[in-house]
Each structure stands twice: as C-alpha cells, then as structure tokens.
Amino acid sequence: MSIQPAPKPRPCSNFKLRQLMRRVSQHYDAELGKAGLKTTQYSLLTHVDRLGPLRPGELAHSMAIDASTMTRNLKPLVAAGLISVAPGSDGRSQSVAITESGRSKRHDGQRYWKAAQDGLDDLLGVDDVAAMHALIDRCLERFSRVDAGDTHG
C-alpha cells in the first residue's frame, strides 16, 4: 500500500482569500456602520490612538499598508475632525494624531467591533477562528522571511 501525496489546492488561493475577506469585511462593516464607521476607519483610529502621534509612514508600516493607501484612508477622518495631521518635528515631516472627537468615535465603535468579533466567533466557531488566526500568522511569518531575503525559511 503506497501513501498518496496530499492533493494540491485547485481553486485560486487569491480568489478564495478575497472571497472570505469580502464576507468578513461585510460582517464587520455592518456592525461598525452603526457607529458611522467603516472597518478601515475604526482600525486607523485604533492604531493612531494606541501609537500616536506618529508620522504617516510609521502608521502605514505598522498597519502593513502602502503610503498612498494610508493617505487616501486618512483624508475622510481628517475631514471629519477625527484625526489631525500637523507639521512634524523637523518641518518636513507630518504627525498624525487622534482628536478628542476621534477618541470618542473610536470608543463608540468599540462596542460594535466587539459585537462583530463575537458574531464572527459564533458564526465560524471559536476553535476555527483560533485556527484561522494561527494559520494566518504562520503565513505572514513566511512572507516576512521572504521579504527579509530568507528563501529557505
């Protein structure tokens, strides 16, 4: 009796991940919309609240998004008075900070984020969500090693 190798995944991994991400985003957006926020806006407010004030490039790096996406995502929050962008320490840089209105909006959104998280745990099952997180973390670690030049990791 011979052992058969595991079959290779047939569907496009990118497509499958994007399908799941769209559904998860819709789930979170439905809850956070009750606070007048999109998931990306809540995430930005949370990062700036925890890390700020900081330069936009540092914020983009901490969230693993490119600078142009960061600029585009900050604009509506600045326009709404939830985030402030001021000159940085050297005159050439900028500093991003959360405003009191932004902190209040983030606080309002926090209970809806929690409802979304709890709802996802209920829908998918806590064990599957934990397994998904572990798999994602392993995948991201492998990408980080490739980015660092370690192709044997």
Output the 3-class SS for 4-17. CCCCCCCCCHHHHH
Rounded Cα–Cα distance for residues 82 and 99 (Å) = 5
| pTM more than 0.85 | no
Residue 2: the pLDDT is 66
Rounded Cα–Cα distance for residues 136 and 140 (Å) = 6
Among the ranges given (80-84, 86-90, 147-151), the one the predictor scored with the smallest mean pLDDT? 147-151
Give the sign of the dihedral formed by CA 119, CA 51, CA 56, CA 77. Answer: positive
What CATH number labels 13-147?
A: 1.10.10.10
Where helices occur in 80-125 by DSSP H, the ranges are 100-124
Residue 1: the pLDDT is 60
Residues 6+ apart with CB under 8 A from 94: 55, 56, 85, 86, 87, 88
pLDDT category at 4 given cuts 50, 70, 90 is confident
